[in-house]
Structure 1
Amino acid sequence: MVRVPDGACEIEISNLELIAACWGPRIGDHVVSRIAARLREAGLAIELDAKSGRFRILGSMQNGRAPSQDRLADLSYRLTAESISIEAITGEPGAAVHAVMTWRNDEPPRYRGARDPGEGWFALYRNDMQLAAQSLRCADEGRMTVCWQAVCDYRDPSRTLYHEGLVRLDEPGAGLSPAAIFPALERTGTATTFDWAMVRHVMDELRAHPDAVLGVNISASSAHLNGWWRGILSELAERPDLAARLVVEITETEPITHIHDAIAFARALRAVGATLALDDFGAGFTSIRQLMDLVPALVKIDGLFLQRATRDGEPCQSLPHLIGLIRELGGTVIVEGVETQAMADLAFVSGAIWQQGYYHGYPEAVRSGSGHGEPMSRLVSGKS
């Protein structure tokens, strides 16, 4: 959180400059007015710097007290999730933007460094914002479906480690595939807000189904102890039965820019009894050093390694070497992208008992065999 000298606090629209550059200053002013109105509706007295999009929070209108960090963080994520229509100004049907509210010293959106129109960043940002707006609208309107894919034991596929939640969005004709939406969410700075919605959904599932062990993906930008995670971790500390059944997977689509924050986040997850996993390892930004720093219980090797090993005519050593290294560092290995019997066999002889992929089951809206009846800590320790 950004602190001002007298102890008050500030939040800002971190992408205001980008919005004004892409859609014009009138749209920028409209976004600022909308956020100011929403803050006042929330009962906060504010001072506004309209040019920079910064809001100085003076306190509650009722008692003058400054809002707690948890309340301010929750409000910031809720405001980021709200779609701001610009259709009446632009004349474009369904046109909308999202104000990315920053309440701490976050990294700025990636596009902030790109200013050469020749690079086409105007068009890229507009397209990314459209994808982000459609994705968040689907989540808000209940048109977000979570399908579940099992992580299975090769020796007994009916034995499930957990089910990973995979998002499907219902927006006909919009092309909202995971490969399209998640990079757009990352680039526009809205990924953490989308993660917030997903984590809440998975927590609801855990409360409703006491035998379920579920995994949720978050971006690297969400791996910190600020904001909405504080409330989630407090609940997990009070509900060890929930924590023991939650797997948090950090994806590698973006680099971990604040490694110390991520380390503190990993320690906090372990402290409450939840399980940390690194997803798509080997195909993204996570390094061996970060693997050693974060100490995840589970490491999911990207399916690319298995595909290469399957294609090679000669025995491939890279996959068993990688599996061996991860096990030496204390992690339990899951090989992703298992699509055939031959791939399952190869992953197993390379050292991977736990596997995930179409061969073991397609993502489905209804989970089967969701409970394994054994503690996660025992299953990932190699003693089972």
Structure 2
Amino acid sequence: MSITANVQALHAQPQTAERRFSADGVLNSVGEAVYEWNLANDYLDWSTGTSDLLGITDTGMMMTNRNWEALLVPGSVNSRGAALAESEQTDDGTGVPYQIQYALSGGHLRDGQDVWLEDTGRWFANPETGRPARAHGVIRIVTERRKREERVDRMSRFDPLTGLLNRARLTVELDTLFSTLVDDGKPASFILLGLEHFDLVNQVYGFEAGDAVMSEAARRITANLRATDIVGRFSGAKIGVVLPECDDQDMLIAGYRMLNVLRNEPIITDCGSIALTISIGGVSIPQHARECRTAFMAANQALEESRRNRDNVVAVYRPDPERERLRLEAGIMAENIINALREGRIHLVWQPIVDAETGEVAFHEALVRLEEHDGTSIEAGDFVAIAERLGLIRLVDHHALDLALETMKRCSTATFSLNVSNETACDPEWLSKVAHAIHECPDIAKRLIVEITESHAAESDDEARRFINSLADLGCRVALDDFGAGYTSFRTLKALPFDVIKIDGQFAVDLEHSVENQTFIQSLVKLASLYGARTVVEWVEDDETAKMLREWGVDYLQGFAYGRPRKLLPWPIDRPAEEAAVPEIIEEI
């Protein structure tokens, strides 16, 4: 017999608080029970075993719906009675469905724990009034499901480590504040607090200690703020604080209060005491920011100022027209870079590098250019730094590599060097792409020279050595680019096995009259020779400079004296063209 049939059979049987249904045992075993509700007398009739299933100690509380709703957690919005009273549907003779969730208070239950129920039923109208006259339904215990949903909901709003709001929820709260500020005109502030050298804490003490530091920092900050202030974990080592009704002066006071509670007392972990270095930046809203994005950007700029100026560890954002101009230009350039990648307007040009003795072209350097729609060309120096700062350089590097490898496949005599940024030099996908091309066309290896900057070599000997050795294993040569441009260390030449050393062009400027530059180049040439590396001097513009360099033993010369960068391929195309090289990675944009 179906549950519906069982419920219908209730009308012909004597009224009791609980009655046996044929499916009662099955229902109880899966955490369910059925009921019939007569709205005329408010009487509830339940399947047998319902009180035991729910742990209700006073079965009298189950006799009427009024008593049943007294079992609910105080303040409950949802109830069976409210569902029927608020229903706007009309019974066409088949009944009107309803489904609600509510919790029985643990204070009325045997184990003292709240029990969440899903109540699914159907009410039937009095033919004369059209209002509900009776209802029947099924209740299902959904406590565990509710707990899972609450955990998921909490995870969507809170940071699991610190218990603070996560960034998404912090953004919602700040958005809400912005909407009220427009009406009431009161000042407010947003602060970003950065735990400096946090990666070092993780490396030295371990991630568990890092977690302990972050949790304790969050606790201290929260404990020293007003009840109306809102705190959230903005990112890995940054905490964001929303301060309603707080002007510049109040923001400074709050900032230094947070600084003191974090800086004045070390944090105790299982690995020992850890002292924190803190930087804080803040912005007044809506005075200097009228939306979350600009508030985050302004506070982060102030935070960076705090990091640069250790005497002013709480920095307040102040508008700077020049900085704003540069920011807007960077945004325009970033959009231009992305569009150029999509439209194939980033290409390579080729500048010859000649043998110092013979003057013959030894190889070329592949230089990246961004072509505007009007045909003008933007040099790498004018957009690569922005691409690096905005995280776009990896896309540019992969696109340049695809173009370079395609050129080598089509031109069997092409030999050239190609620059790779610091970030991409650590990207295994870039190196894998080189290896795959060499597997398909083995002679590429001896014709490809990869240039890495001196700054990359200076950051990590081990990382640079792994990169150089990987390329050497493939048969490629590696050049150290712009040596002397700012990270000069002769130790680098000893520590890393470079094939070519490219001396920065600034040392070739006015070489005839600069004793310092002469000494630097001569010393470097001798040292490179000692380690078996060839040397290139950039920016060679005249015969007198070339003659001096040649006499000192420089191997190769590069500069406008020997050729400007040109888009036209300097080698014949002697292999069939494949499909145009469009880097798959551009799909990530």
- Bigger shift: 237-246 or 335-344? 237-246
Which residue of the partner structure matches residue 257 of structure 1? 459
Letter in 2 for 1:166: L
Letter in 2 for 1:114: E
Deviation at 1:354, TM superposition (A): 1.0
Distance 2:356 2:301 in 1: 44
Question: Would you say how many aligned residue pairs link Structure 1 and Structure 2?
Answer: 271
Which residue of the partner structure matches residue 162 of structure 1? 363
Which residue of the partner structure matches residue 218 of structure 1? 420
Q: 2:304 aligns with which of 108, 114, 119?
A: 114
2:323 aligned with 1:133: no
Distance 2:301 2:364 in 1: 35
- Bigger shift: 353-362 or 183-192? 183-192
Pair 251,131 (structure 1): closer, same or farther in 2 beyond 3 Å: farther
Q: 2:478 aligns with which of 276, 284, 288?
A: 276
Deviation at 1:184, TM superposition (A): 1.0
Distance 2:377 2:566 in 1: 20
Distance 1:313 1:347 in 2: 13
Which residue of the partner structure matches residue 63 of structure 1? none
Letter in 2 for 1:170: E
Pair 271,315 (structure 1): closer, same or farther in 2 beyond 3 Å: closer
- Within a 5 Å distance, the mapping from 1:28-39 to structure 2 comes to none
Which residue of the partner structure matches residue 144 of structure 1? 346
Distance 2:408 2:366 in 1: 12
Which residue of the partner structure matches residue 372 of structure 2? 171
Distance 2:372 2:534 in 1: 37
Distance 1:289 1:237 in 2: 34
- Bigger shift: 149-158 or 226-235? 226-235
- Within a 5 Å distance, the mapping from 1:82-121 to structure 2 comes to 114=304, 117-118=317-318
Deviation at 1:140, TM superposition (A): 2.5
Pair 225,138 (structure 1): closer, same or farther in 2 beyond 3 Å: closer
> Which secondary structure state, in structure 2, belongs to the residue aligned with residue 319 of structure 1?
helix
Letter in 2 for 1:233: A
Which residue of the partner structure matches residue 355 of structure 1? 557
**For each residue in 1:282-340, what CA deviation from the matched residue of structure 2 results, as whole angstroms up to 9, or x when unmatched?**
11335323333331101110111121422338993222112111221221101111111
Letter in 1 for 2:391: G
Distance 1:313 1:325 in 2: 18
Q: 1:239 aligns with which of 427, 436, 441?
A: 441
Q: 1:200 aligns with which of 387, 393, 402?
A: 402
Pair 308,118 (structure 1): closer, same or farther in 2 beyond 3 Å: farther
Pair 309,272 (structure 1): closer, same or farther in 2 beyond 3 Å: same
Per the normalisation by structure 1, the TM-score is 0.61
- Within a 5 Å distance, the mapping from 1:62-81 to structure 2 comes to none
Letter in 1 for 2:365: E
Deviation at 1:143, TM superposition (A): 1.7
**Could you list the runs of 5+ residues in structure 2 that have no partner in the other structure?**
1-166, 177-232, 237-299, 306-314, 574-589
Which residue of the partner structure matches residue 503 of structure 2? 301
Per the normalisation by structure 2, the TM-score is 0.41
Letter in 1 for 2:442: P
Deviation at 1:280, TM superposition (A): 1.1
- Structure (1 or 2) with the larger CA radius of gyration: 2
Deviation at 1:201, TM superposition (A): 0.6
Which residue of the partner structure matches residue 8 of structure 2? none
Deviation at 1:237, TM superposition (A): 4.5
> Which secondary structure state, in structure 2, belongs to the residue aligned with residue 327 of structure 1?
helix
Deviation at 1:145, TM superposition (A): 3.2
Letter in 1 for 2:413: D
Query: Does the aligned pair in 2 maintain the 1:153–1:161 contact within 8 Å?
Result: yes
**Larger RCO (CA within 8 A; separation ≥ 6):** 1
Letter in 2 for 1:182: V
Deviation at 1:164, TM superposition (A): 0.7
2:422 aligned with 1:228: no
Which residue of the partner structure matches residue 45 of structure 1? none
Query: Does the aligned pair in 2 maintain the 1:220–1:252 contact within 8 Å?
Result: no
Overall identity of the aligned pairs, in %? 26
